[in-house]
Structure 1
Amino acid sequence: MPIARAAKRAAVRLGAVALAGALLAACGSGSSGTSSDGESGKVTLTVDLFGSFGYKEAGLYAEYEKLHPDVTIKQTDTEDEADYWKSLQTRLAGGGGLADVQGIEVGRIASVTQQQSDKFEDLTKYGADQLKSQFAEAKWAAATTKDGKVLGLGTDVGPEAMCYRTDLLKQAGLPTDRVELAKKWSTWDGYLELGKQYKAKAPAKSAWLDSVGSLFSIMIGQEEERYYDASGKLVWETNPALKSAWDTSVEAAEDGLSAKLDQWSPQWNQAFAAGSFATIPCPAWMLGYIKGQAGDSGKGKWDIAKLPGGAGNWGGSYLSVPRAAKHKKEAYALIQWLTAPEQQAKLFQKQGNFPSSTGAIEKVADATDPYFSGAPIGQIFGDAAKAAPVQVLGVHDQNVNQQITNALNEVERKGISSQKAWGNAKKGVDNTIG
């Protein structure tokens, strides 16, 4: 995703303005009797997220509460984004049970801006329009409606790389150097060929990759047009790039290169520590997830190399404030602070979530990660972010992706034909979105 670079001095100044604005907004709104929790000036902010945003783990909530003694933050979290989105839709329809801050995955943001703009606060009412220059242009535009409403502030983007277990590759007689591997798997064909070599000498109960669903998702993240074209027309069935990603994923399944794991399932989580797979396509936000699942025993066993086939983007999220939120001003102050350059830089250095803030991107350019064998994560993901395409986002991106990966799982686990699975994907999409 092309990143608009700001001058370093301007980025620092804007970050300071953003932080000051957040502090003033929080202090000013916290004294309001209508937004307190019964005690004078005391506010409990509820944050509802999915997956691993990393704010608590990186100590950002604790830091914010120290800066704002009258604020307490309570987070709820759903591991699977599809379950989270379904629950959020139910609560939005009923108008109750919503948190002060709701996370929105990038694959859903077009649905929010095009179909649910009446359900979320226009953040320009709180001064968000002054923050535009701090964010990557595409990230900002995706959360902005045609009439200029800003419905979310960007947390991260998902530049892609390949994470791998050096100990497992070494046992299979394969190279472990990240530069050498990047050359050997510069193409997806090269990646599959190396996978066949791994399979021939792999340690017991270890596959080349986790699932063909993750392979498909990472490959389609390398394309500008995926499920929709720029006019908003659904084109996934006729998109040659998507069909190529499908065929490569089917090939990996039929060659037995996958551990056949459902992403986000308990079995998938356990597999990180068990060494059930040697490689996993990993957007930047997955680094924190790997650390959490593989634990301390995985430190130094993992490394990161450039992705086969060129740069891409998978994922990235937003923080939004529902219209039905109890503490709107305080919620905006919190998300403004969390997405400011200083906090985005801290989050990347501690959890791996790559910034969508231009100022933060400059701050992390030289970052390395000892857990991943000292990999230059600032350079690897920074280069990928600059080279990744600006993706066309559609209303049902996430739904279409889910149906396709479900169909690929049938090829992977049940051994059904590619043709039949493709037909099942089409039926699934039609039933889901009409």
Structure 2
Amino acid sequence: MTVRKKTTAALATAVAGTLLLAACGGGGSAPAEGGPVELTVSLFGTFGYEELGLFDRYEAENPGITITYESTQGEDKYWPALQTRLASGSGVADIQGIEVARIADVVANQQDLWTDLRDTPAADSIANYVEWKEPAATTADGAVLGLGTDIGPMGICYRSDLLAQAGLPTDPAALSARLTSWDDYLALGREYQAAAPAGSAWMDSAGGFYNAIISTEQEIYYDAAGALVHETNPAVRSAFDTAAAAGQAGLIARLEQFVDPGWDAGFASGSFATIACPSWMIGYIKGKAGDAGAGLWNVTTLPGGAGGNWGGAYLGIPASSEHVEEAAKLAAWLTAPERQAEVFASAGNFPSTTGGIEMVADATDPWFNDAPIGQIFSTSTQNAPVQILGPEDGVIKSAMVQALLSVEANGVAPADAWNSALADVNNQVG
């Protein structure tokens, strides 16, 4: 699940100077001939649009357009509710968010429920993205069902003060030099635990660790032919076993991400020293650690300088929308490179357009000790494999994470947890 939170404006100021924001903006629209138009937008989590005032700005630039916005905090609640509304043909918004783990299901099974954006004013935006973003939202016959909002390149976020107390490197380059592989990451974790401040673990959760490892792979739960391979793909089992071993070794704070209140509190309290962080996690950490956390956290690259992608989303227009043209213009405007750069500056959601990436390439973050987050996440994007997505990616990932939670929290043997995850997947997917 991708979760986003609004954060401080310090980085926004730095990035804003690189943006050329014309008063009219890209993709603006005149009022429809039939009179004023109310557009509805329904998303999950916080995409940053409301928090940055983008809806208000769009309304000001496009007289006659009003926008009604709603957000469901949990994508796991948002998506089932949306499926019910899509099936009934009523209650859907003009623009709906689609999480990256759902896009393959949309493309494979729901083409008739969504608008082909090639036939709308958003058509000119389709070519603006990194090479794999829009193809993932494209059906076999070429229909494009979503415009990318962001992607999730990764790094390692860490508490400099806690590492210093344990006698470990705190400089990002020095720390990166010690992390040439995930095995190195675990070895350094054992060093940390031997001298860690009381009540602090090396990392937050086995499930988060698993997601980080698996997000660096090209083939995960499906192969290129679309066949399920979660049970036979050695990369999946290796990531599961590595995360389970970390749980058994006592390197984990046993805090379920986005669920356990202690996880949120841990960013400020020091319950864990490191966390694998997609770019959108930057904003989340700031929001939970607050002003008191400024200067305590830093960011370095993934072990070995690996690239990966964890998260990201799309904006789609349901076929039942009565305002497809106006909705497409708004979606194109919200996902334009300039807006993506603004959202990254505020919330950490990394641009999925090539132009947006260029705008933030030199961004640093004062809250994170002036970490060169633009460079770190740009490099992660460049090094990331083009992942093969499948229609049940979200279901399978959830089963793996829950099984790992049973290892770290309840002492379940990793082999038994693995078998439980497979049974859970088979029950849900077949």
The aligned residue for residue 52 of structure 2 is 58
Point out the structure with the larger helix share. 1
Q: CA deviation at 1:284?
A: 0.8
TM-score, with structure 1 as normaliser: 0.90
1:358 aligns with 2:359: no
Amino acid at match of 1:390: V
Counterpart-to-counterpart distance in 2, 1:426 and 1:291: 36
The aligned residue for residue 383 of structure 2 is 387
1:258 is matched with which residue: 249, 252, 255?
A: 252
Amino acid at match of 1:356: S
Amino acid at match of 1:215: F
Q: CA deviation at 1:268?
A: 2.1
Q: 1:338 to 1:294 in 2, by over 3 A?
A: same
Amino acid at match of 1:362: E
The aligned residue for residue 292 of structure 1 is 287
Counterpart-to-counterpart distance in 1, 2:162 and 2:80: 38
RMSD: 1.9
Structure 1 unpaired stretches of 5+: 1-11, 34-39
1:282 aligns with 2:277: yes
TM-score, with structure 2 as normaliser: 0.91
Structure 2 unpaired stretches of 5+: 1-17
Amino acid at match of 1:31: A
1:111 aligns with 2:112: no
Q: CA deviation at 1:69?
A: 4.1
1:302 aligns with 2:303: no
2:145 is matched with which residue: 143, 151, 154?
A: 151
Q: CA deviation at 1:172?
A: 2.1
Moved more, 236-245 or 196-205: 196-205
Q: CA deviation at 1:271?
A: 2.1
Q: CA deviation at 1:62?
A: 3.1
The aligned residue for residue 222 of structure 1 is 216
2:163 is matched with which residue: 165, 169, 183?
A: 169
Q: CA deviation at 1:60?
A: 2.3
Counterpart-to-counterpart distance in 2, 1:166 and 1:386: 27
Q: CA deviation at 1:151?
A: 0.5
Amino acid at match of 1:325: S
Amino acid at match of 1:108: R
Q: CA deviation at 1:73?
A: 2.9
Amino acid at match of 1:205: G
1:333 aligns with 2:325: no
Q: CA deviation at 1:326?
A: 4.2
1:202 aligns with 2:196: yes
1:410 aligns with 2:406: yes
After TM superposition, list the pairs within 5 Å mapping 1:7-18 onto structure 2.
none
The aligned residue for residue 399 of structure 1 is 395
Contact map agreement 2:121 2:329 (CA 8 A) in 1: no
Amino acid at match of 2:72: T
Amino acid at match of 2:180: S
Moved more, 232-241 or 192-201: 192-201
Counterpart-to-counterpart distance in 2, 1:204 and 1:71: 56
Q: CA deviation at 1:184?
A: 0.9
Q: Residues 208-245 of structure 1, C-alpha deviation per residue, up to 9 Å, x if partnerless?
A: 11111011111101100000000000001111111111
Q: CA deviation at 1:76?
A: 2.1
Moved more, 107-116 or 317-326: 317-326
Contact map agreement 1:159 1:381 (CA 8 A) in 2: yes
Contact map agreement 1:58 1:351 (CA 8 A) in 2: no
After TM superposition, list the pairs within 5 Å mapping 1:415-430 onto structure 2.
415-430=411-426
Q: 1:203 to 1:56 in 2, by over 3 A?
A: farther
Amino acid at match of 1:246: F
Contact map agreement 2:126 2:147 (CA 8 A) in 1: no
Q: Residues 28-60 of structure 1, C-alpha deviation per residue, up to 9 Å, x if partnerless?
A: xx3343xxxxxx51x433222223322222332
Amino acid at match of 1:203: P
Q: CA deviation at 1:362?
A: 1.1
Q: CA deviation at 1:433?
A: 1.2
After TM superposition, list the pairs within 5 Å mapping 1:67-82 onto structure 2.
67-82=61-76
The aligned residue for residue 37 of structure 1 is none
1:269 aligns with 2:270: no
Q: CA deviation at 1:405?
A: 0.7
- Work out the percentage of aligned pairs sharing the same amino acid: 52
1:31 aligns with 2:46: no
Q: Residues 90-133 of structure 1, C-alpha deviation per residue, up to 9 Å, x if partnerless?
A: 22122222122111111110100110111111111213332233
**Consecutive aligned runs of 4 or more in structure 1 exceeding 4 Å deviation:** none
1:101 aligns with 2:95: yes
Contact map agreement 1:52 1:288 (CA 8 A) in 2: no
Q: CA deviation at 1:189?
A: 1.0
Amino acid at match of 2:389: L
2:86 is matched with which residue: 84, 92, 95?
A: 92
1:212 aligns with 2:212: no
The aligned residue for residue 8 of structure 2 is none
Amino acid at match of 2:155: A
Contact map agreement 1:213 1:409 (CA 8 A) in 2: yes
For 1:419, what is the secondary structure of its paired residue?
helix
The aligned residue for residue 370 of structure 2 is 374
Q: CA deviation at 1:200?
A: 2.0
Contact map agreement 1:319 1:335 (CA 8 A) in 2: yes
Count of paired positions:
409
For 2:309, what is the secondary structure of its paired residue?
coil
